[in-house]
């Protein structure tokens, strides 16, 4: 991909946010990376030297507790960046999250030294970074509220609705075990609750396929 082609893609997604000079700089230093559903883009314990800026697709952000499996935190969608990986970049610390591709997609990788430079140089970049932190913090608080105040049945239907939204389809190809892993519970619990939701007319179950009604 040429620099001009990359600039055109960035303009398509960010011309309403970033000024032309910043778009030119992003296009000159960014590296594009295509990914497939299920790819691990950031692993726990990794040192992060580049910040992801999502152009296409969706990514799920997971937290891992020792001996307790994974816990889903939030989705990144087109136009988003991950505030937690951003903080790791800026603080030069190791990642405490795992980023897994929910769908196929395309991401821009931006070098950390440019992130710091642009904070002082471009008002639009400062606003984008601070808005990203704010949005991710709201999603983190929402995840905490979900854990603290919702029962598993409510958590399950909420999670299915979120997956349908980022995948842009009400028909999802996913196993009961995969859902259980994302919600940090057992497959038996998820299978039982899915059957309840089907009996209530909220979903339709087929082999490894769930359709929201």
Task: Give pLDDT tens digits for 105-142.
Answer: 999 989 888 888 898 999 999 999 899 888 888 888 88
Question: What is residue 91's predicted lDDT score, i.e. its pLDDT?
Answer: 67
Give, in words, the CATH class of 34-148.
Answer: mainly beta
Distances (CA, A) of 142 to 23, 119, 149: 32, 28, 10
Contacts of 103 (CB under 8 A, 6+ apart): 37, 57, 58, 166, 167
H-helix or E-strand spanning residue 178? helix 176-182
Say whether pLDDT at 52 is over 80: yes
Q: C-alpha distances in angstroms, 98 versus 30, 45, 72, 132, 192?
A: 22, 9, 10, 18, 28
Overall fold of domain 151-212:
Arc Repressor Mutant, subunit A (1.10.10)
Q: What is the pLDDT of residue 68?
A: 66
Domain ranges of the chain: 34-148, 151-212
What is the pLDDT, as a whole number, of residue 103?
A: 94
Question: Given the DSSP bridges, would you call strands 59-65 and 98-101 parallel, antiparallel or unpaired?
Answer: antiparallel
Where does the chain show beta strands of DSSP type E?
31-35, 40-42, 50-56, 59-65, 69-76, 98-101, 105-111, 171-173, 203-206, 209-212
74-102 confidence digits (pLDDT tens): 898 988 887 777 777 766 678 888 899 99
pTM > 0.85: yes or no:
no
128: its two tokens: 């984008």
Residue 184: phi and psi, rounded to 5, are 55, 50
Half-sphere exposure of 60 (CA within 13 A, CB side): 26
Q: Which of 9, 82, 71 is nearest to 48 (CA)?
A: 82
């Amino acid at each position: 991909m040429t620099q001009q082609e990359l600039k055109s893609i960035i303009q398509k997604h960010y011309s309403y946010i970033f000024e032309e000079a910043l778009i030119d700089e992003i296009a000159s230093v960014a590296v594009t990376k295509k990914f497939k559903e299920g790819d691990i883009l950031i692993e726990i314990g990794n040192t992060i030297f580049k910040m992801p800026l999502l152009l296409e697709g969706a990514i799920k952000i997971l937290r891992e507790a020792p001996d307790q499996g994974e816990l889903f935190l939030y989705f990144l969608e087109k136009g988003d960046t991950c505030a937690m990986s951003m903080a790791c970049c800026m603080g030069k610390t190791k990642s405490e999250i795992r980023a897994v591709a929910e769908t196929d997609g395309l991401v821009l990788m931006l070098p950390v030294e440019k992130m710091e430079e642009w904070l002082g140089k471009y008002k639009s970049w400062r606003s984008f970074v601070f808005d990203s932190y704010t949005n991710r913090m709201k999603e983190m608080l929402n995840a905490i509220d979900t854990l603290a105040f919702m029962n598993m049945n409510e958590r399950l239907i909420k999670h299915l609705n979120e997956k349908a939204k980022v995948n842009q389809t009400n028909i999802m190809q996913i196993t009961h075990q995969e859902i259980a892993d994302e919600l940090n519970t057992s497959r038996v619990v998820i299978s039982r609750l899915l059957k309840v939701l089907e009996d209530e007319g909220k979903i339709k179950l087929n082999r490894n396929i769930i359709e929201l009604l």
